[in-house]
Amino acid sequence: MKYNLIFHGITEADVGTIEDSESVLKCFIGRNLNIEDDIPMANVHRIGRRDDRRRDGKPRPIIAKFVHYKDLMNVKRSAKRLKNTNYGISEQYPSEIEDVRRKLFAIAKAERSKGRRAYVVKDRLYVDHELIDPETYVFGRASTVTPRPPPRHKRPRTGSTPDRE
């Protein structure tokens, strides 16, 4: 999953026609991201079966494996041009991390609605620049992961001088 990006919202060819996903993606990158370089890609294909109809009517996403990391970063930096469009670009993560991210995005959305700055980095959630533990998160109140020192177990002080009367 290294060097992989997932492109969302790119329309599919009509049923019954063969689509070259790589040429469609390169055209999209040139037109919408203003990157005219010929970017080498190792593998480009749509995710899912063609005959599966999505309930929401959206086209299947395209996954692309980039040969060079600098090309992947160039495309990611240009992704801000897709803001307020029906297109999107995301990184591909292992399924375990995707499950964690799904939970974190729900928490981030709740925190943003309260006016706090929340963002997800890989499999971690930050709210107002503090790392949040999703296991101890209570909606309405975030608990941070800031480590606290354990309580000290001191023995009681005993005086070395005898009691004065």
Return the ∠ at Cα 129 (arms to 124 and 132), rounded to 5°: 40
Tell me which of 91, 119, 140 is where a domain ends. Answer: 91
pLDDT in tens, 68-101: 999 999 999 999 999 999 999 999 999 999 999 9
Helices (H), 51-152: 69-78, 95-113
Q: How many domains does the chain have?
A: 2
List the beta strands (DSSP E) in the chain.
4-8, 41-46, 62-66, 88-91, 118-121, 124-127, 130-132
pLDDT of residue 111 exceeding 60, the answer is yes
More confident residue, 149 or 142: 149
Tell me the whole-structure pTM to 2 decimals: 0.73
* Range with the poorest average pLDDT among 8-12, 33-37, 38-42, 46-50: 46-50
Q: Domain limits at 19?
A: 4-91
Query: Within a domain: residue 120?
Result: yes
Q: Based on the domain organization, do 45 and 108 belong to the same domain?
A: no
Domain C-terminal end among 62, 91, 120 = 91
Domain annotation covers residue 160: no
Are residues 113 and 71 part of one domain?
no
- 125 and 49 both lie in a single domain: no
| Residue indicated by tokens 């309405």 | 140
* Residue 159 in domain: no
Q: Give me the percent of the chain exceeding a pLDDT of 90.
A: 56
Question: 67 with 115, same domain?
Answer: no
In a domain, 18, yes or no: yes
Is 163 a member of any domain? Answer: no
Task: For 4, list phi and psi in degrees, rounded to 5.
Answer: -100, 140
Answer yes or no: is 161 within a domain.
no
Residue where a domain terminates, one of 46, 68, 91: 91
Distance CA 77, CA 79 (A): 5
Whether residues 128 and 80 share a domain: the answer is no
